[in-house]
Amino acid sequence: MLNRWVTSRIEPHVISDPILTNFDEQRLIQLTRDGDYDAFNRLVVEYQSAVFAVVLRTVRNHAAAEDITQDTFISAFRKIASYRGGIFRAWLFRIAKNASLDYLRKMSRRSETSIDEDIVYFSETVKDDSADPFADALNAELARLIDHCLGGLSEDHRFAMVMIDVQGYQYDAAAESIGVSIGTVKSRLNRARARMRDCVQEEPELLPASMRL
Amino acid sequence: MVLRILNRFIDRTDSSSVWAVNAYVEGSASDDEVKLVEEMMRRDPALGKDLSTQRALRDVLSRIENVEAPRSFAVTPEMVAAAERSESGLSRLAELFAPQRKLAMAPAVIAVIAAVGVALLTIGDITGTVDQTGGGRDDSSSSASFAESAATSGGGAAAESAPSMEMAVVTEKASAGATAAPAATAMAAVAPLAPDDSAITLESAAGGGIDEPASLAAPEPEMALMEEEPEIVGDGDSEDDSARSKSGEQLEVDGPESDDADTTLEFGTGGAIDEDPITSAGAGTGDGSFAGAADGAASSAAAGAGEGALAGAAGGAGEGAGKGISLPLWQLQIALAALAVAAIGAWAGLRRVRGE
């Protein structure tokens, strides 16, 4: 089945605390500064899924997301000396975000983005436990519509929406990841939501009743 | 208003109501925020449905399944070494100029400022408000000296020199002087050394007495000599040619080393042009550049070398009593050097911004 929807999701916006304690994390960072690959790779294991998810939803291309994620960790290892405290995950996200934006700009110049291919990846990640085939099909179309609208957002707005509405991060973490103030993140998210709303309204037949104006 | 524009420029909104709306959509609004949003909905009934849509949309987005890493992204020494090898010199250059990504545009801004500065200096030189007199100036180098024409009084015999870029100014003043005094006006034009299509047209606004044009061919090597008088090219009628040289409206100067260099000088006189020989010297080099000198009654010497857009800055040497702002050459050189460095940084920074 292409789509796996769930009727409900338990605490969808709560990101589980890292297994590593802050003390462990700082110790691993210090070891990484000394060139310890094993220490850094423990951090990689801790954050690779989160980084990959954000990158995938930003660039909307699986292969590119893998490359960017790998490059993110390589770059993080090389530039670990420039990490000066704060949320380590946010620092990683910032590197990933910059790499993602670089990729998107390259693609926009080359006009090589393949939306159709990417939509599949996004749609597959929408889950639902419904056993209704009709609902599945409708939800699949909705997922494609949402993916299309998300792809139509500007890079900054999309990243804010992915970080907060999709990944469920708090504003402060998102702001530190993006490198802007919390107020800016809120404003971007507000505009992103408004544009998403306008976009999905273009095909009202796909929307649930609660989303129709 | 300013704050609103500024906030919009940095992609922020200044309204706390926006944040209240966000919190309302997320279901985390405080009591005050709920009251504020409800008040907004009372004023705008469509807002309620709008926010419901956003809530539903957020709910859909929140149900997007978490993505797991498809493979391990562990870093190995080989990967790091490969990355360091593949890092281009351009990337290192970009990081040198803009260590932080948000500052990547800084070199571009600096380049623009430097370019404007150099442009202002050059324009100032062209318009005659800047005197570029470098310490340790060498006439054979690129220092430039600009002196205003002194052909402003009867029989004025002030020696003048003018670099190429000031030719129009000097000529105009010389012409004005000629109007007042019969012995004052003389002009010289110097053909470029090796331009192909250089053409100069100088027009002065002095009144009356312009009868007919005269052509003046000025062999360049001779023109470089102070006392050499250009050969007047006419129709063979010495009287006519002489008359043209006196009250000539148009002088055509052809440089011997250029095939089609055509320097046309137009000026009007008050009909009182002294027959003193045109004594001038000038030399110009460069594409599209010109050089010239105009003097009053006595003599003038000028050598100018124009180099494209920066001709006034880089070319020309002369002597004379100058007025105006004195600008040491080294300042211009520093400005040019800063411009070059900033331009390189801007190029690298822009590439970095673009993700290259």
> Of B124 and B220, which is predicted with more confidence?
B124
- B122 falls within a domain: no
Nearest CA in chain B to A192: B54
Model pLDDT for residues B84-96, shown as the tens digit of each residue:
887 766 666 666 6
Contact (CB<8Å) A74/B21: no
Start and end residues for every CATH 1.10.1740.10 domain found in chain A = 17-111
- Residues B215 and B234: beta-carbon distance below 8 Å: yes
* Residue A124 confidence class, pLDDT cut points 50, 70, 90: very low
Contact (CB<8Å) A41/B77: no
- B99 falls within a domain: no
Which of B38, B62, B86 corresponds to the end of one domain? Answer: B62
Q: Smallest Cβ distance to A189: which of B22, B80, B354? A: B22
B96 touches A: beta carbon within 8 Å: no
Q: To probe the interface with B, which of A169, A210, A212, A213 has the most B CB atoms within 10 Å?
A: A210
Q: How far is B86 from chain A (nearest CA, A)?
A: 12
- Residues B94 and B332: beta-carbon distance below 8 Å: no
Q: How far is A61 from chain B (nearest CA, A)?
A: 13
Start and end residues for every CATH 1.10.10.10 domain found in chain A = 114-213
Using an 8 Å CB-CB cutoff, list chain A residues near B27.
none
- The answer on B145 and B35 residing in a single domain is no
- pLDDT at position A8 over 70: no
The question of ipTM being above 0.90 is answered as no
- Which whole number is the average pLDDT over B339-346? 78
Q: To probe the interface with A, which of B3, B6, B51, B73 has the most A CB atoms within 10 Å?
A: B73
Q: What angle do CA B348, B354, B356 make, to 5 degrees?
A: 65
Q: Smallest Cβ distance to A186: which of B22, B74, B356? A: B22
Q: How far is A149 from chain B (nearest CA, A)?
A: 11
Q: Which long-range contacts (CB under 8 A, 24 or more apart) does B109-113 make?
A: B110/B338, B110/B342, B110/B345, B110/B346, B111/B339, B111/B342, B111/B343, B111/B345, B111/B346, B112/B346, B113/B342
Domains: count for chain B = 2
Contact (CB<8Å) B11/A188: yes
Q: To probe the interface with B, which of A7, A68, A186 has the most B CB atoms within 10 Å?
A: A186
Contact (CB<8Å) A126/B64: yes
Q: Residue A208: its pLDDT value, please? A: 66
Contact (CB<8Å) A208/B11: no
> What's the whole-model pTM score?
0.51
B61 touches A: beta carbon within 8 Å: yes
Pairing of strands B317-318, B302-303: antiparallel
Contact (CB<8Å) A184/B11: yes
Q: To probe the interface with B, which of A165, A171, A180, A181 has the most B CB atoms within 10 Å?
A: A165
Model pLDDT for residues A190-204, shown as the tens digit of each residue:
899 989 888 888 877
Q: Which residues contact B88 (CB under 8 A, 6 or more apart)?
A: none
- B350 falls within a domain: no
Contact (CB<8Å) B63/A12: yes
- The DSSP result for A43-82, as a single string, is HHHHHHHHHHHHHHHHH--HHHHHHHHHHHHHHHHHTGGG
- Rounded CA separation A197/A191 (Å): 10
Using an 8 Å CB-CB cutoff, list chain A residues near B77.
37
- B356 falls within a domain: no
Q: How many CB pairs under 8 A join A and B?
A: 148
Q: Residue B146: its pLDDT value, please? A: 39
Using an 8 Å CB-CB cutoff, list chain A residues near B72.
44-45, 48
* Residue B189 confidence class, pLDDT cut points 50, 70, 90: very low
Q: Smallest Cβ distance to A37: which of B55, B64, B77? A: B77
Nearest CA in chain A to B13: A187
- Rounded CA separation A53/B66 (Å): 7
Q: To probe the interface with A, which of B63, B95, B102, B353 has the most A CB atoms within 10 Å?
A: B63
* Residue B6 confidence class, pLDDT cut points 50, 70, 90: low
Helical (H) or strand (E) element with A193: helix A182-200
- Which whole number is the average pLDDT over B171-184? 40
> Of A117 and A21, which is predicted with more confidence?
A21
* Residue A143 confidence class, pLDDT cut points 50, 70, 90: confident
Contact (CB<8Å) A49/B69: yes
> Of A7 and A104, which is predicted with more confidence?
A104
Using an 8 Å CB-CB cutoff, list chain B residues near A165.
58, 61-62
Give the domain extent around B186: 130-323
**Which chain B residues in 322-341 lie under 8 Å from chain A, judged by CB atoms?**
none
Q: Residue B191: its pLDDT value, please? A: 39
- B96 falls within a domain: no
- pLDDT at position B23 over 60: yes
Query: Chain-centre distance of CA B92, in angstroms?
Result: 31
- pLDDT at position B33 over 50: yes
Model pLDDT for residues B110-148, shown as the tens digit of each residue:
778 877 877 777 766 656 655 555 444 444 444 344 334
* Residue B37 confidence class, pLDDT cut points 50, 70, 90: confident
* Residue A111 confidence class, pLDDT cut points 50, 70, 90: low
- The answer on B146 and B43 residing in a single domain is no
Q: How far is B112 from chain A (nearest CA, A)?
A: 24
Residue A123, amino acid: S
Nearest to A54 by CA among A131, A144, A133, A162: A162
Its CATH architecture, for the domain A114-213, is: Orthogonal Bundle (1.10)
Please tell me which of A69-73, B219-223, B258-262 the model is most confident about, judged by mean pLDDT.
Answer: A69-73
Q: Smallest Cβ distance to A105: which of B21, B56, B354? A: B354
> Of A111 and B159, which is predicted with more confidence?
A111
- B119 falls within a domain: no
- B112 falls within a domain: no
- Which top CATH class is A17-111? mainly alpha
- Rounded CA separation B253/B190 (Å): 7
Q: How far is A168 from chain B (nearest CA, A)?
A: 7
Pairing of strands B186-190, B250-253: unpaired
Percent of all residues in chain B with a pLDDT value above 70, rounded to a whole number = 30
Contact (CB<8Å) B73/A105: no
**Which chain B residues in 1-30 lie under 8 Å from chain A, judged by CB atoms?**
7, 10-13, 18-19, 21-22, 25
Contact (CB<8Å) B83/A48: no
Q: Residue B20: its pLDDT value, please? A: 86
Q: Which residues contact B201 (CB under 8 A, 6 or more apart)?
A: B264, B265, B266
DSSP state of B11: T
- pLDDT at position A3 over 50: no
- pLDDT at position B15 over 90: no
* Residue B149 confidence class, pLDDT cut points 50, 70, 90: very low
